[in-house]
Amino acid sequence: MTRPCHGAVALLLAGLAGGARAQTMLDQEQRLIEIHSLLVALPALEAPGALAPLQGRFGVELITIPIIDGTTGTKTQITASDKTRVFPRLRGGIGLPLGGAWRAFAGLAWIPPIELNQASSSMIGLEAGAAWTRGALSAGLRLHGEWADSKSPVTDPATVDQLITRIGGADLSAGWRFELGPVVLTPYASLGVARVDGTFTVTSDAVQLTSTTTNLGLSAGARLQAFEQLEVVAELVAWPNVLVHPNFALSWVPRFGKGEPAP
């Protein structure tokens, strides 16, 4: 009486195993495009509502690169982590008045096309957002868009291949401010989504591969403001099942004109 039952269970398990399709070489190539595209995505690297009206933010970020497995089929491609484990990005922003308990901001990010170790990435990103503040609590919405042109040997050390990346996304965040004498510490967390489009061109034969994904993003960070005009931010960014990496920023945050005090 138990044999039919055992047979049905075996068939079910076999069906489930067959439904989990093994990764093809194309899957692996598209995954590499997705990972490298998300490396240039623009994280918040800032607590919501941090900038008061007419308060600027001018600084440099350090974007870390985890070890990336370049295996595609029987080949191993050259990845970003083979070239460097960190790259800088310039970033600026300005707080905008909204009135009441609301604050807004607009910002710009830029990676100049400077070649280092046979690799370069020209990138520009735009962002804007608004936040509601009440006491030590702040909650905000941020929109962002990025375009990047990255060039590096990938398929062969003797060639320079190209990856064009386009990203558009949004995230919701919340933070809590702690006044600690001469410094202000604001831990925060965010949840977002991004549409990521990458087009990779193999220079040697002009073959193009594309990857278009919609990715969930999670992040947690802390903003430390000291001496009124110095800001340090550390943030861990996670794109589940794709990429996890910490990022850091050091900025000058001056105030222009008169307005409400910075948080």
Q: Give the pLDDT score at 21.
A: 54
3-state helix, strand, coil in the chain (%, to 5): 15, 55, 30
Burial pattern 140-160, b for ≥16 Cβ within 10 A else e, equals bbbebbbebbbbbbbbeeeee
Give the sign of the dihedral formed by CA 100, CA 253, CA 190, CA 44.
positive
Residues 159-195: tens digit of each pLDDT: 999 999 999 999 999 999 999 989 999 999 999 999 9
Residue 94 has pLDDT above 50, yes or no: yes
In this prediction, residue 25 carries a pLDDT of 86
Task: Note whether 245 and 64 are within 8 A (CB).
Answer: yes
Domain boundaries in the chain?
A: 23-252
The answer on pLDDT for 226 being more than 80 is yes
**Model confidence at 14: pLDDT above 50:** no
Residues 6+ apart with CB under 8 A from 105: 51, 93, 94, 95, 96, 128, 129, 130
Between CA 200 and CA 205 the distance in angstroms is 12
Confidence at 84, pLDDT banded by 50, 70, 90: very high
At residue 240, what are phi and psi to the nearest 5 degrees? -50, 135
Q: DSSP string spanning 27-90?
A: HHHHHHHHHHHHHT-----S-TT-SPTTBEEEEEEEEE------EETTEE---HHHH-SEEEEE
pLDDT above 80 (res 260): no
3-state secondary structure of 3: helix
pLDDT interval class at 17 (50, 70, 90): very low
85-90 average pLDDT score: 96
**Which distant-in-sequence residues (6+ apart) come within 8 Å of 210 by Cβ?**
30, 33, 197, 198, 199, 200
92 pLDDT exceeds 50?
Answer: yes
The β-bridge relationship of strands 86-99 and 207-226 is: unpaired
- How many CA atoms are closer than 13 Å to the CA of 216, on its beta-carbon side? 4
- Whether 258 shows a pLDDT value over 60: the answer reads yes
| Predicted confidence (pLDDT) per residue in 50-80, tens digit | 999 999 999 999 999 999 999 999 899 999 9
262 or 193, greater pLDDT: 193
Query: What is the 8-class DSSP label of residue 23?
Result: P
Percent pLDDT > 70 in the chain is 89
The Cα 183–Cα 197 span in angstroms is 40
- Check whether 13 has a pLDDT greater than 60: no
Q: What is the mean pLDDT of residues 134-158?
A: 96
Q: What CATH architecture applies to the domain 23-252?
A: Beta Barrel (2.40)
Higher pLDDT, 7 or 69: 69
Give the rounded percent of residues in the chain with a pLDDT score beyond 90.
Answer: 77
Q: What is the pLDDT of residues 97-114, one digit of tens each?
A: 898 899 999 999 999 998
Q: Residue 10 above 80 pLDDT?
A: no
Contacts of 207 (CB under 8 A, 6+ apart): 201
For 141, residues 6+ apart whose C-beta sits below 8 A from its C-beta are 129, 130, 131, 170, 171, 172, 173
Choose between 260 and 5: higher pLDDT: 260
pLDDT mean over 121-126: 96
Residue range 1-5: mean pLDDT, rounded: 44
Checking if the pLDDT of 19 tops 50, the result is: no
